Structure 1
Amino acid sequence: MAAPSNAEPSPLPKNGVSDWSRRYTCFPVLLITEFPLTSFSPRAFFRRQEVMENVMRILESVEVKWEHFQTWTDFSRLHLSNKLAIFGVGYNTRWREEIHYHYAEISSQVPLGKRLREYFNPEKAEGRVIMTKVQKMNWKNVYYKFLDITISEARCLELHMEVDWIPIAQTRAAGCSNGSQYLLPGGIPKTYGLYAIGYEETSRSNSSSSTDNKSSPSQEEEETDHCESVEKDKRTSSKVTYCYLGIAEERTLQQCLFQHFQTSGKHYSREEPSAVTRFLQDNCTGQAKEGVLSGLHIYIKFIEVELDFLSAGSLVECLETAIGYSLKFNKKDAL
């Protein structure tokens, strides 16, 4: 029997899918290494799935066309080499020409051309999946589509898909029997960036208010509680309605949010309060009745962005496309 070969892996084929089927037909199928069960995180898994579904929906809503993947030189073209983008990978079969999504992501840190070359590399896990599907004739052709985005738009999408909502506490205003005031959390950056304000109807029941009397939960119970926590996070994200996207460019994130949420009437400028500021003020005025605060639950989220990049892109349209509805308190020409 011949000794096992220690040769280096063969270089990438210069041609595309056709090279895979010719060069690797006689080779055994390469299996993707699975993650150990102990490293599996339900929260991270659901987050990745949610991000991928959001990216697919964005690509469909802007009606970007599929491009047939043929060679790796496609990804070295000038218009792909230095752009950030959201992209999708799709396929069809010999039986149906309709293209289905296989994968989608935001390439917000790596230029699109480099990321696609990495993704289609047959010597890496992602590329091996595609190679195997074509080799076994599960797929006929492979396609990709993309929408180039600015750095600020990439951060805006990260704000929506990656950043959790932070609930804003309300407390009864001192010396006032029918009003409340907001308590902003600590840790809001004194830097520039993007922030969003959302709300949730208080009439919805809060399942987390009920407490149990379990003294020492078992491992199985703890795992169940963890999965329930993940599902609760998903429900919280889905039931919060965005109403405003702010850009902290002339003032810091901390200053902008403080201006919106203060109820004393003092502002950094002498201009009239914005629509979202008036909405927040009205929400905490006259809402404390019989000791119960009954206004809307308010949430915020924010992300830091370098000042030089904040003015680029169409941020309101970007977020509205991602969430699927209009922002109530944004002027359409403001951002």
Structure 2
Amino acid sequence: MQNVVRILESVQVKWEHFQTWTDFSRLHLSNKLAIFGVGYNTRWREEIRYHYAEISSQVPLGKRLREYFNPEKAEGRVIMTKVQKMNWKNVYYKFLDITISEARCLELHMEVDWIPIAQSRVAGCSGSSQYLLPGGIPKTYGLYAIGYEELKAAPPSGPGDHPSSTEPSEPDLSSTLEEGAGGKVTYCYLGIAEDRTLQQCLFQHFQSSSKHYGRGEPSAITKFLLGNCNVQSKEGGSPRVAIYIKFIEVELDFLSAGSLVECLEIAIGYSLKFNKKDTL
């Protein structure tokens, strides 16, 4: 609920006074998907406080609010009882209508887990590695996000920690880097798989020979991924990062609607580093 409240507060949606059920039968509410909140004040404090907030991404807002304020249902009984017992003075609601693609974008953020992307050494190329994308990436359309997690460099080993060997060996990434304790993944890119499938778009970013949309220079996110994959951390330098992806399928007809980058940036509370501001 706190994430939903933060979104509503970020876009500064105004409260509306709830009076009758006919409020929710109005045409402008009937068929919309939306983020909505229910609030109240008391006779002692005029300030409106949140009672509940959610993203109505499957059920139209008008129907969802009628269900929520119905005194025959559990949520509605709570509201009715609070007003009747004068715990609350007035009840309010606010909403921000969203497109289907924006609703799926918020689902991608709040309900889909990050998938870590493994790396393996490239044979014969010291200090170089390649990404290993997981199986099961859909050959359909939708939205995908790329994120990273800072890795901490492991402390250097002492001279007596490893037995000496006359044969050179490739250093192991797992022995030189360790995961950060926080486990926090930072979003850096939101992609829309509209002209290509989710699988094709992700392979395009993670393969070293790919070009942005098949022509010209690689995109900024592709350059970032390639640089992270090919350049080893040097002593005293910045540690490399672990890469993650997540994705969600969206029907092609709905993908072009909405302001998807702004939607995700408001939800996460910071800007996406590798998205152009005039796209998506």
Provide TM-score, normalisation by structure 2. 0.86
For the Cα contact (< 8 Å) 2:31–2:62, is it kept in 1?
A: yes
Of 218, 223, 246, the match for 1:273: 218
* Paired letter, 1:109: Q
Is the CA contact (8 Å cut-off) linking 1:178 and 1:289 kept in structure 2?
no
Task: Determine if contact 2:147/2:245 at 8 Å carries over to the other structure.
Answer: yes
- Local SS of the residue matching 2:8: helix
Q: Which residue of 2 aligns with 1:318?
A: 263
1:181 alignment partner AA: Q
**Correspondence for 2:166:** none
Alpha-carbon shift at residue 270 of structure 1 (Å): 2.4
CA 1:286–1:238 in 2, change beyond 3 Å: closer, same or farther? closer
Q: Note closer, same or farther for the CA distance 1:304–1:204 as it changes in structure 2 (3 Å cut).
A: farther
Q: Which amino acid aligns with 2:232?
A: Q
Question: What's 1:158 paired with?
Answer: 107
Q: Which amino acid aligns with 1:310?
A: L
Aligned length: 252
Give the one of 115, 118, 129 matched to 2:64.
115
Equivalent in the alignment of 2:152? 203
Which residue does 1:45 correspond to in 2? none
The residue aligned with 1:261 is: 206
- What code does the residue aligned with 2:206 have? F
Q: CA deviation at 1:53?
A: 1.1
C-alpha displacement of 1:98: 0.3
Give the CA deviation at 1:287: 2.0
Q: Report which stretch shifted further, 184-193 or 129-138.
A: 129-138
Residues 274 and 267 from structure 1, CA distance in 2 versus in 1: closer, same or farther, beyond 3 angstroms?
closer
Equivalent positions of 1:9-28 (< 5 A) are: none
Please give the secondary structure, in 2, of the residue aligned with 1:259: helix
Could you say what secondary structure the match of 1:308 adopts?
A: helix
Q: Secondary structure at the match of 2:151?
A: coil
Q: Is 1:285 equivalent to 2:234 in the alignment?
A: no
Secondary structure of the corresponding residue to residue 145 of structure 1: strand
- For 1:317 and 1:328, the matched residues in 2 are separated by 12
**2:246 — aligned with what?**
301
Structure number with higher helix proportion: 1
Specify every segment of 5 or more residues in structure 2 that has no aligned partner in the other structure, as ranges. Answer: 155-179
Aligned partner of 2:164 in structure 1 is none
Q: Take 2:132 and 2:111, find their aligned partners in 1: how far apart are those partners? A: 24
Task: Output the CA distance in 2 between the equivalents of 1:168 and 1:274.
Answer: 19
SS in 1 for 2:152: coil
Structure 2 distance, partners of 1:183, 1:109, is 34
- Cα distance between partner residues in 2 of 1:98 and 1:238: 37
1-structure distance, mates of 2:31, 2:87: 33
Q: CA deviation at 1:195?
A: 0.3
2:26 corresponds to: 77
Tell me which protein shows more strand as a share of its residues: 2
**Quick check: 295-304 or 259-268, which moved more?**
259-268
Residue among 189, 193, 196 paired with 1:251? 196
Structure 1: runs of 5 or more not aligned: 1-51, 206-234
CA distance in 2, matches of 1:204, 1:120: 54
Query: Is 1:88 aligned to residue 55 of structure 2?
Result: no
| Distance (Å, rounded) in 2 between the aligned partners of 1:126 and 1:264 | 55
Matched residue SS, 2:53:
strand
- The superposition leaves residues 25-72 of structure 1 with CA deviations (integer Å, 9 ceiling, x where unpaired) of xxxxxxxxxxxxxxxxxxxxxxxxxxx111100100111000000000
1:106 correspondence with 2:51: no
The 3-state SS of whatever aligns with 1:242 is strand
Aligned partners of 1:320 and 1:327 also within 8 Å? yes
Partner of 1:183: 132
Aligned-residue offset at 1:268: 6.2
Provide TM-score, normalisation by structure 1: 0.72
Specify the alignment match of 1:193 in structure 2: 142
| Letter aligned with residue 296 of structure 1 | V
Paired-residue identity, %: 87
Local SS of the residue matching 2:44: coil
Residues 120/276 of structure 1: CA separation in 2 closer, same or farther (3 Å cut): same
Which of 134, 145, 169 is the aligned partner of 2:94? 145
| Letter of the structure 2 residue corresponding to residue 161 of structure 1 | M
Q: Distance in 2 between matches of 1:313 and 1:159?
A: 15
